[in-house]
Amino acid sequence: MKILMVGSEIFPLIKTGGLADVMGALPAALTAIGLKVTTLIPGYPAVLAALPSSDVVHRYANLFAGDATLRAGRAEGLDLLVLDAPHLFARPGNPYLDPVGKDWHDNAQRFAALARVAADLGLGLVPSLTPDIVHAHDWQTGLVPVYLRYANKPAPPVVMTVHNLAYQGQFPAYLLGALGLPSDSFSLAGVEHYGAIGFLKAGLQHADAITTVSPSYAAEIATPEGGMGLDGLFRARADRVFGILNGLDTDIWDPATDNALAAHFDANRLALRAANKSMLARATGLAERPDALLLGLISRFTWQKGIDLVLAAIDTIISVNGQLVVLGTGEAALESALRDASAAYPGSVKAIIGFDEGLAHLIQGGADALLVPSRFEPCGLTQLAAQRYGAVPIVTRIGGLADTVIDANDAALSAHVATGIQFQPASEEGLRRALLRSARLFQDKPGWQSMQRNAMQLDVSWANPARHYAALYRSLRSA
């Protein structure tokens, strides 16, 4: 079975968040169980630079007002189709934002072009590459099933995966013609969404199956609280919506071989983590305090991630002899509040503002616990890595966090299955209570180590999720 993946970022070539991790790892897991996967991505400078050589498989004379070349090649073990369209993608840096941090003015055309090419491939543009299934990810690819539908030709089924409903790709209605959409598509049953063209909404409306990245999030998005305006659609299409948990690339995230660590370790050699805790303190300028509860946080700084809750609860962290290291980038107000907190608590709080893959690994391998106080979380990958690295996750009980962490309540502790600490609601008070509970658990060293070992023994790989996707693809082909 041939699968065409299409998405707007892919690890390790271009990444702003977990979407890239999924795009980078799921294909290999599917390949391992016999599927043939090719991934279509935009030819950003970083992607073209990583492509050592490529075959031109198609040339467009006019793709959204410029010429474009579709290139096939392999980079970093990935089978790629790269849409080399300089007028749309020859822009370094963040794939969505211009140099002043605003959405590129032509994002509608840029990602419509990506979707157009995926649809063309689905319709047989390059016969040897015609897929049996197209698997499209997030709003950037929402028009894929729309273009296929309006082509009125036999087309492969489309799976649309929602990684984050907070980003829906809303564009003005006057772009309808420019995007090559017929006027009758602008309806409730088509691409119209709250008076605009909704890329994600359009994709969800026309996809043959919808998946999201955890079972709990699949349930939450069908409610007014979690649906972000799309809950009615999810309820109407409930028989087509599936929650499939993300996995982790367990080759890249392996504490027994990770080059970013001072000491390699596994569940039977937990004592070796101490060297990573020291290295983390030295690398970030925290005081070296082996007995302190060292909390890590690796995140985009947005409302979703509850960074403001952590800022509000810093005094509780200090009061329990804790330390905090934060790695991330995002909203300017949160970046500056974190800088201020670092200055106010030297040696105890350190914020590193930036994107640093190596430091993210060192935090996972050196911190005692990882904070993920999200207000909503479709899946979340940092708590998966944390569990694999023996950093006990402290998470809100929502979305994928609820599905991947086993709370250290009395029942789980007595059955020796706890892997972390869950709390609710996502509030300052909830977080404070969770911090106090974590600090008490941390005092009981054998108990804490048993949580670390339980967590490290979980299967967080892509093996299971890949089987679920393969079964879904098969069901669509035989439908």
Site string for ligand GLC, 391-410 (x = CB under 6 A): ---------x----------
Choose which of 22, 29, 112, 197 interacts with ligand GLC (CB under 6 A). 22
Nearest-approach distance from CB 355 to ligand ADP, in angstroms = 4
- Backbone phi and psi for residue 248, each to the nearest 5 degrees, phi listed first: -130, 145
Per rule CB under 6 A, is residue 213 in the interface with ligand GLC?
yes
Question: DSSP assignment of 294-312, as one string?
Answer: EEEEEEEESGGGTHHHHHH
**CA–CA gap between residue 70 and residue 413 (Å, rounded):** 54
Per rule CB under 6 A, is residue 168 in the interface with ligand ADP?
no
Q: Are 405 and 451 in contact (CB under 8 A)?
A: no
- The interface partner of residue 357, options being ligand ADP, ligand GLC, none and the CB cut-off 5 to 8 Å by kind, is ligand ADP
Span 227-246, contacts to ligand GLC by CB under 6 A:
246
- The DSSP output letter for 153 is S
Distances in Å between the alpha carbon of 334 and those of 120, 157, 327, 338, 351? 42, 42, 12, 6, 11
Site string for ligand ADP, 309-348 (x = CB under 6 A): ------------------xxx-------------------
In this complex, which beta carbon is closest to ligand ADP, that of residue 19 or of residue 88?
19
- The interface partner of residue 213, options being ligand GLC, ligand ADP, none and the CB cut-off 5 to 8 Å by kind, is ligand GLC
Nearest-approach distance from CB 18 to ligand GLC, in angstroms = 3
Name the nearest CA neighbour of 27 among 49, 5, 57.
5
Nearest-approach distance from CB 15 to ligand GLC, in angstroms = 11
Choose which of 294, 369, 381, 434 interacts with ligand GLC (CB under 6 A). 381
In this complex, which beta carbon is closest to ligand ADP, that of residue 19 or of residue 466?
19
Per rule CB under 6 A, is residue 198 in the interface with ligand ADP?
no
The amino acid occupying position 339 is R
Per rule CB under 6 A, is residue 380 in the interface with ligand ADP?
yes
Distances in Å between the alpha carbon of 361 and those of 254, 297, 382, 390, 414? 9, 11, 10, 12, 31
Site string for ligand ADP, 341-360 (x = CB under 6 A): --------------xxx--x
Distances in Å between the alpha carbon of 343 and those of 300, 310, 334? 21, 16, 14
Cα 385 to its chain centre, rounded Å, is 13
**What are the tokens at 19?**
């979407």
**CA–CA gap between residue 349 and residue 436 (Å, rounded):** 17
Number of residues that bind ligand GLC (CB under 6 A): 14
Nearest-approach distance from CB 57 to ligand GLC, in angstroms = 29
**CA–CA gap between residue 29 and residue 231 (Å, rounded):** 31
Per rule CB under 6 A, is residue 330 in the interface with ligand GLC?
no
Q: Which residue is nearest to ligand GLC (CB)?
A: 18
- The interface partner of residue 459, options being ligand GLC, ligand ADP, none and the CB cut-off 5 to 8 Å by kind, is none
Nearest-approach distance from CB 300 to ligand GLC, in angstroms = 8
Per rule CB under 6 A, is residue 121 in the interface with ligand GLC?
no
The amino acid occupying position 463 is A
Place of tokens 């303190």: 281
**What are the tokens at 407?**
């709370």
Name the nearest CA neighbour of 187 among 200, 175, 198.
198
Give the CA radius of gyration of the chain.
23
Q: Are 320 and 436 in contact (CB under 8 A)?
A: yes
**What are the tokens at 327?**
């790695």
Choose which of 296, 378, 390, 430 interacts with ligand GLC (CB under 6 A). 378
Maximal CA-CA distance, the chain? 67
Nearest-approach distance from CB 298 to ligand ADP, in angstroms = 5
Per rule CB under 6 A, is residue 299 in the interface with ligand ADP?
yes
Span 139-178, contacts to ligand GLC by CB under 6 A:
163-164
- The interface partner of residue 300, options being ligand ADP, ligand GLC, none and the CB cut-off 5 to 8 Å by kind, is ligand ADP
Interacting residues with ligand ADP (CB under 6 A): 17-19, 21, 298-300, 327-329, 355-357, 360, 379-382
Interacting residues with ligand GLC (CB under 6 A): 17-19, 22, 163-164, 213, 246, 377-381, 400
